[in-house]
Structure 1
Amino acid sequence: MKFKHVYIVLKKELKDIFRDKKTWIVTILLPALFIPIMMYIVIGGAESISEQKISDTKIAIIDEGNNQKFVNYLKSTGISIITDLQNPKESLEKGDIRAILIIPSDFGKNIEEGKNADLIIQVDMANMKSSNAENMIRSLIKEYANNIVKERLIAKGIDPKILDPIEVKTENIASQSKMAGSFLAFIVPMLLTLWTATGGMGAAVDLAAGEKERGTLEPLLTTSASRLSIMAGKYLAVTAMALLSAVASLLGLFASFSLNRNMASLNADFKMSTIAIIVMFIAAFFTASIFAALELALSAYAKSFKEGQTYISPLMFIAIIPAYLVMYKMPNEIPISYFAIPVFGTISIFKELLYGIINMTHIGIFVFSSMIYVAISIYIAALMFKQEWALFRV
């Protein structure tokens, strides 16, 4: 293998990749746009549910007695009350109202006599806003009940403060930077690993299976460059595109932080050391290197561009499944064995770095094991390029 030939092939492939608008749009532009759009949709949807205003919450009240005092209390809270519906349950199922509150006929009587009283809340648990409305109504009822208890205690000459003998105060010891890191550690490792692993797919399919289909691979193999040099040049091109995809996804992620008012403060408070950034890049490089070689090997084995896409697409699940398994784990909950497993190790390293943890033992295990996986994957890719039966299958 001659490095001069490797460089020539690498230069040629990168030129071809960037000439093809579809490839660089999918590899670079799509990751950069996908994350801000996804974050806007997900966070926007969550905000619309969590920030549901009490005045926008419509509920139907079925008063089976004369409980005007309680109804007036509910009206005073600002909640939207409807009492003239013909079929409240049907309106609830359609989503026109969020809940139905049924007040039994003896509710007011029991309260006046110092007894316990019942209320019935009907909700549609399949509707998130209806479920949230239930919590809202429960909190209003609890406040009303607390007022009744206080009135009863005062009537008996007892200080209502007796109900709250202990006052609990919560103090958050985490810094704003650590809070930001914990938020980022939840989603960034998954997205970054996913785009690092799959970012070179388009290039890998085109550089082997695509060239077979176009009839340009055979002339390239007849040049003075060895097959190993050709494979190495193509491999480096795919790796470069995977890393560019990862960088684009990161830029898209931080752009979404800047554009979203609720996340801009997190981005401002978040800080990463130079060592952490270097380690993150190394982790991304190893992941891109492993997947680039596997993608290129499968592409070399495929007879056509379409067949290459079919073979390579399942690799995405290899990246997605570990991402979800590690997503909900705290850094101290990650087993040490994870750092020696492809993809698991990458996500685990990213998560620790975003929490501000630089564990040299874990990094060492990850780097050593990754070097072995890279060597194995490159060997497989080289094997595909050396075998006539693999390159020129009929």
Structure 2
Amino acid sequence: MRGTIIWTVFQKEMRDLFRDTKTWVGTFVIPLVIVPFVFFLMGSSYSSLEEEARAHVPLYVTGTSGLVAQLEAIPGVKFEQPADPEQALIGGKLRAIVTIPDGFDERLKAGGTANLRVEYDSSNQKSVYARDVIEEKVAAYSKEIVAKRLRAAGLSEKATQPIHAVYEQVASEEKSSGGMLAGVIPLMLVVSLASGGIAVANDLISGERERGTLESLMSAPIAANQLLTAKLMTVMVMSCMSAAASLVSLTLILRFGPFGGEELGLSSLSPATVLVLLLTILLQAAFFAGLELMLSTIAKSIKEGQTYMSGVMFLAMVPSYMLMPLHPVDIPEHYYLLPVFSGVSLIKEVFYGMVDPMHALVGLGTSLLYVALVVALSARFFRREGAVVKH
């Protein structure tokens, strides 16, 4: 009977939410359509910028040397003769200024080192590209000169490379596929779990209290704990849906955006690792849901509730950003005992493919304790008469 009442209230809350267009827009449209579209535009913009930078590379070159012909052979390079080269570079009409001093080739032929000056605008990506291609061509030209000097001395080119190092990576496929994204995914998941339920939690208690509907619900033959459980489930579902939408959004961005077909690496995760990930997400969702409902209960109005909810976002973002650059082996052991920190740490381990059983046990266990604590506090505040009556 108790379960039936909770399920009925939960269904009612979900129906009410999805009648609201803002719920659909905030939960699905923005993460699934707007965010990938923005990344697609960014990728297209960078691609067109690179194509234009390659197609047109105007340079101003002073001095004579065999290097000039090498520079002229670069695809897209065109030598210009502006009246004021420095101003032309600043104005974007030139990509770089190459100054070859007198006696350049003579110094090289004598076995010495010749100086070359290349001026470019670091604030202009097209100018930076020009610097890069010039640097590559100069390096290739220098290599040719070194080879000639070695042959003249009766030496092999290998004389300048006495050591041939072979580098082999030892990371598994799981670690390799997840390593690059293991800093971003925990941030996206945890922040989505926190933000996905904020508006819902604020409306389910503060909003209903202002509209007078919460008092009507409490006067019905429904226990306060049953009502709170249904609302907790509602906020959890919305948080998990927000996190799922973020993952789908990230998948679309990686597949079709400016990242060259990257993958999330979920297919390489073992069943046990996936279980740890799902339990971590559910516990984090429950923790944030309980915390948000407690703050919504304490708040005297929706506006006050919105102010309190900013603290939830702070609680989600600080651990995520602190742990972003860390490899799982560098995560301090006590982080697995702290709220949110433990969740972020476990998600990082999952996507690195190196979940430590003890870390999983401790992290999930402490997360469960924190969930029980915030739900108990939320229930205590919710049972107060002031939580129901409009202020």
TM-score higher than 0.5: yes
Aligned-pair CA distance for 1:216? 1.4
Does the 8 Å CA contact 1:57/1:97 hold for their aligned counterparts? Answer: no
From 180, 188, 191, the equivalent of 1:191 is 188
Aligned to 1:217: 214
From 350, 355, 360, the equivalent of 2:357 is 360
Does the 8 Å CA contact 1:59/1:99 hold for their aligned counterparts? Answer: yes
Aligned to 1:18: 18
- What secondary structure does 1:15 align onto? helix
Aligned-pair CA distance for 1:110? 2.3
- The more displaced of 315-324 and 37-46 is 37-46
Q: Distance in 2 between matches of 1:41 and 1:319?
A: 28
Aligned-pair CA distance for 1:386? 2.4
Relative to structure 1, is the Cα distance of residues 43 and 384 closer, same or farther in structure 2, using a 3 angstrom cutoff?
farther
Does the 8 Å CA contact 2:294/2:381 hold for their aligned counterparts? Answer: yes
Q: CA RMSD in A?
A: 2.8
- What secondary structure does 1:122 align onto? strand
1:289 maps to 2:289: no
From 64, 75, 79, the equivalent of 1:78 is 75
Does the 8 Å CA contact 1:60/1:88 hold for their aligned counterparts? Answer: no
Aligned-pair CA distance for 1:14? 1.1
1:82-126 CA-to-partner distances (Å, cap 9, x unmatched) read: 331223333333334333222223323322333321111222233
Aligned-pair CA distance for 1:206? 1.4
Aligned to 1:58: 57
- What secondary structure does 1:313 align onto? helix
Alignment of 1:123-202 (within 5 A): 123-202=120-199
- What secondary structure does 1:126 align onto? coil
1:303 maps to 2:294: no
Amino acid at match of 1:92: L
- The more displaced of 75-84 and 7-16 is 75-84
Relative to structure 1, is the Cα distance of residues 347 and 130 closer, same or farther in structure 2, using a 3 angstrom cutoff?
farther
Aligned-pair CA distance for 1:363? 0.9
From 316, 319, 322, the equivalent of 1:325 is 322
Amino acid at match of 1:26: G
Does the 8 Å CA contact 1:209/1:303 hold for their aligned counterparts? Answer: yes
Amino acid at match of 1:248: A
Does the 8 Å CA contact 2:320/2:341 hold for their aligned counterparts? Answer: yes
Gap regions ≥5 residues in structure 2 = none
Does the 8 Å CA contact 2:294/2:377 hold for their aligned counterparts? Answer: yes
Alignment of 1:269-280 (within 5 A): 270-280=267-277
1:33 maps to 2:30: no
Does the 8 Å CA contact 2:61/2:100 hold for their aligned counterparts? Answer: yes
- What secondary structure does 2:268 align onto? coil
1:335 maps to 2:335: no
Relative to structure 1, is the Cα distance of residues 382 and 329 closer, same or farther in structure 2, using a 3 angstrom cutoff?
same
From 366, 371, 378, the equivalent of 1:369 is 366
Does the 8 Å CA contact 2:65/2:100 hold for their aligned counterparts? Answer: no
- The more displaced of 168-177 and 381-390 is 168-177
Q: Distance in 2 between matches of 1:341 and 1:86?
A: 65
Q: Distance in 2 between matches of 1:13 and 1:375?
A: 23
- What secondary structure does 2:182 align onto? helix
Aligned-pair CA distance for 1:286? 0.7
Does the 8 Å CA contact 1:192/1:246 hold for their aligned counterparts? Answer: yes
Q: Distance in 2 between matches of 1:263 and 1:229?
A: 49
Does the 8 Å CA contact 2:174/2:269 hold for their aligned counterparts? Answer: no
Q: Distance in 1 between matches of 2:243 and 2:162?
A: 54
Aligned-pair CA distance for 1:383? 2.8
Q: Distance in 2 between matches of 1:164 and 1:53?
A: 37
Instruction: Report the identity percentage.
Output: 32
Relative to structure 1, is the Cα distance of residues 95 and 377 closer, same or farther in structure 2, using a 3 angstrom cutoff?
farther
Does the 8 Å CA contact 1:384/1:391 hold for their aligned counterparts? Answer: no
- The more displaced of 145-154 and 383-392 is 383-392
Aligned-pair CA distance for 1:255? 3.4
1:15-45 CA-to-partner distances (Å, cap 9, x unmatched) read: 1111112113312333333553455356666
Gap regions ≥5 residues in structure 1 = none
Instruction: Count the aligned residue pairs.
Output: 391
